[in-house]
Amino acid sequence: MKAEQARGMSDVDLLKEIEGARRELFNLRLRAATKQLADNTQIMKTRRKVALLLTVKKEREQGNTSQAAS
């Protein structure tokens, strides 16, 4: 996922995507702990996806508060 795609999402879709990525990260960590994960790079990719989504969410929150303060 790219930042442009995340910025194009609605707030509801963004929150659903964050929740889904966090669940996926949990499942990957669980699979890694039980030695069932073949590709360990999936964890890193999912962590970056969560970080990207949270960054976009934070940008929107800060953008909304700065516009409201004006």
The answer to whether position 69 is within a domain reads: no
User: Radius of gyration of the chain from Cα atoms?
Assistant: 15
User: Rounded distance, CA 45 to CA 16, Å?
Assistant: 18
The answer to whether position 30 is within a domain reads: yes
Q: Is residue 14 within 8 Å of 53, Cβ to Cβ? A: yes
The string of pLDDT tens digits covering residues 41-51 is 999 999 999 99
The answer to whether position 14 is within a domain reads: yes
Residue 24's CATH number: 1.10.287.310
Name the domain count of the chain: 1
Residue-number span of the structural domain to which 13 is assigned: 3-64
The string of pLDDT tens digits covering residues 15-70 is 999 999 999 999 999 999 999 999 999 999 999 999 999 999 999 999 876 555 55
